[in-house]
Amino acid sequence: MTKYYQTFAVAALLCLSLVSTSCSEEDNPAESEGYKITVTVNTADMYEQLGLADELTASLANEPDEEYGVGVSLYLYDASGNLVDSKDGEGIRHDLQPIKVEMDELENGLYKLLVVQNVTYEGEEGLYLDIEKEDKFDTFEMWNRYMCEVPATFAFGYKVVMLTINDGDAEVTVTPDPAGSVVEFSLEGLDKTDYGDIFLMTENVPACIAPDDKPEELDIVSRYRTFFGGPNGEVAHIDLTREHGNTVKEKFFIMNMAGKIQFQITGMNAVVDNEVIAEGELDVKLGGQNAVGYDWNTNTAYWGAPQ
């Protein structure tokens, strides 16, 4: 994926003295505690782009124990790509208001700031997101912890910005981009089928490759691991053994999904295993909203935008 960079210049501070032209240690933070970066993360934009803002806002408002919340993790790297400072699971909020995080004791220089945003559980990185090898920018990995299929409200994203500290504190505002796309998976006419499970499968979404097949040369959003691999990897699953009516609709977040994607809708019961019900193609844009569905009333499939 293309990385988007933005450079922020920091104005130099001038020390004025009637006695001396040099700055005292008290006036010069670089000689005492260093400089500070204040990062403001706009969390709402990513969810609005994915069509999830209202749903997530309602979900967080109805969370009585406040175990879930929107959080950000920050990773600051020097010009050589070495980790200088990090803040994990910071500023947990139960709404979509901006999150502000500070990093201090920093020296003059050019930095890369990587900001990751997702829904966390009790301040941890998240149920579906793991971060590894963060000591160096070039090895940083984020990946789906358990499976390709992620409930849409647990979508995650990231942004990389460049900034410079030049004898002064810095402030920067960051708006993370989605690290995948949303698929709305709908089923109708369920009284006319005896499947117990319905799957959305694909063989060419990179987020579903197995750990041993993970290409090392891919960029941040593509360096991941999952427990599903091989042809026809599972990206969404609807359990029809649970109580439901004749229509079911669920949204899923699929990491790194973009381009022309071939899908299969398959069904499983006690007699058949992943029987192909329908096949189709979606031209998916990263960070977009998409829809796939099947109607047993008319025996037709739908591939396109949400209706």
- Residues 181-304, CATH architecture: Sandwich (2.60)
Task: List pLDDT tens digits, range 234-292.
Answer: 678 888 877 778 899 999 888 777 788 888 899 988 888 878 999 998 888 889 999 99
In this predicted structure, what is the pLDDT of residue 254?
82
**Dist. CA 202–CA 199, nearest whole Å:** 10
User: From the CB of residue 71, how many other CB atoms can be counted at a distance below 10 Å?
Assistant: 26
Domain boundaries of the chain, sorted by first residue: 7-178, 181-304
In this predicted structure, what is the pLDDT of residue 47?
95
Burial of 299 (0-12, 13-18, 19+ CB in 10 A): exposed
In this predicted structure, what is the pLDDT of residue 119?
87
* Segments of the chain with pLDDT less than 50: 1-27, 29-30, 206-232
**Dist. CA 224–CA 145, nearest whole Å:** 9
Q: What is the value of pTM for the model shown? A: 0.77
Q: Are strands 259-268 and 275-284 parallel, antiparallel or unpaired?
A: antiparallel
In this predicted structure, what is the pLDDT of residue 209?
39
Provide the CATH topology of domain 7-178. Immunoglobulin-like (2.60.40)
In this predicted structure, what is the pLDDT of residue 11?
26
The partner residues of 281 in beta bridges, in order of sequence, read 262
The answer to whether domain 7-178 and domain 181-304 are alike in fold is yes
